[in-house]
Amino acid sequence: MTRRALITGITGQDGSYLAELLLAKGYEVHGLIRRSSTFNTRRIDHLYRDPHDPDARLFLHFGDLSDGARLVTLVHEIEPHEVYNLAAQSHVRVSFDEPEHTGDTTGMGAMRLLEAVRMAGVDARYYQASSSEMFGATPPPQDESTPFHPRSPYGAAKVYAYWATRNYREAYDLFAVNGILFNHESPRRGETFVTRKVTRAVARIAAGLQDVVYLGNLDAIRDWGYAPEYVEGMWRMLQADAPDDYVLATGGRFTVRDFVEAAFDQVGLHWQEHVKYDERYLRPSEVDALIGDAGKAERDLGWKPVVDTAALARIMVDADVASLAHSGPGWVDQVELDGWPRLEDL
């Protein structure tokens, strides 16, 4: 029997890799996408086949995590065996600008989807994209038993979603799990997260298209892994015999400065000559250090990442250099955006 999966956030970094993984495993994949005036499916266009094609196994449905009735209808129609809730307003700094919207989608959105699964009466396993941001101010190393102390509206919303997931497991016997994932990146990472912002800038500086990149706090410590390995961990959590919560992380310890240095080294440039400070990139409250202990996932699921942060920086820089050589600067960079927020403002 063909297994069916529903992925919210399928147009994002993780959603695109997860869709690829599940299609390769023979799943029929259904993705929730938001109606937008411009195309927002760039990361999954290579997977899409005309739905009239008898071999099509990827289907996209309009919807939004703020629309609970739509979620009930969709889950009822699709009858998925597995539901992956990856959709969220996922940018920590932006969550300080849009705290209510972040709470509504990143927090309440998870509750709406859990309730949709319950109300539709389907026998589906549920994955919640929980985050190391929930640990916030609690010092590393962090694992599944580390207390939460979120430092942003995003982190607080993720804590709500985490507990909603556990509650549906306890109250309704739903196979619902939290993957508590530490930062994971890739060439498909959103352009305003610090790794991609840096590797994209490195490629442009090396090509002579810009000279400097402005950054905020270089002292923050993160444990950056490689996204394709992390979506494999999500899938394994839903194949386990019993529902449980798992940390996925590399255990590595890199400052933002270390990542910047590794990225500039890859093209033979000195980062000190190209990085400038801008306080606009600081957060009202910062998460100083996140270093994960994924021992439980290794023991129970056999999950162990291979790509460390130094290798990740090389992968991302090489991809941005190649993409620039292939396509030239994107249209956003060429248009005069006076008075409008630029990508670089985030």
Residue list for the binding site: 126
Q: Any bridge partners for residue 29, and if so which?
A: 5, 58
Rg, C-alpha atoms of the chain: 20
Residues near ligand GDR, by CB under 6 A: 90, 92-93, 131-133, 182-183, 192-194, 197, 215-217, 220, 222, 256, 281, 283, 286
Task: Name which position in 48, 64, 138, 315 contacts ligand NDP (CB under 6 A).
Answer: 64
CA-based nearest residue to 31, from 11, 13, 50: 11
**154 has catalytic annotation:** yes
Tell me which residue has its CB nearest to ligand NDP: 12
Instruction: Using alpha carbons only, give the angle 84, 237, 124 rounded to the nearest 5 degrees.
Output: 50
Pair 136, 287: CB distance under 8 Å: yes
Query: What's 182's DSSP letter?
Result: P
Q: Report the distance separating Cα 158 and Cα 160, nearest Å.
A: 5
**131 has catalytic annotation:** yes
Q: Any bridge partners for residue 177, and if so which?
A: 127
Task: Name which position in 83, 164, 181, 275 contacts ligand NDP (CB under 6 A).
Answer: 181
Helices 227-239 & 13-24 angle (0-180, nearest 10): 60
**Contact partner at residue 89 from ligand GDR, ligand NDP, none, CB < 5 to 8 Å by partner kind:** ligand NDP
Residues 99-128 that bind ligand NDP (CB under 6 A): 105, 109
Nearer to ligand NDP, 120 or 129 (CB): 129
Nearer to ligand GDR, 62 or 285 (CB): 285
Nearer to ligand GDR, 183 or 266 (CB): 183
Nearer to ligand NDP, 12 or 305 (CB): 12
CA contacts within 13 A on the Cβ side of 316: 36
Q: Report the distance separating Cα 87 and Cα 300, nearest Å.
A: 26
Q: Residues interacting with ligand NDP, by CB under 6 A?
A: 8-9, 11-15, 32, 34, 36, 40, 64-66, 86-90, 105, 109, 129, 131, 181, 183-184, 190
Residues that are catalytic: 131, 133, 154
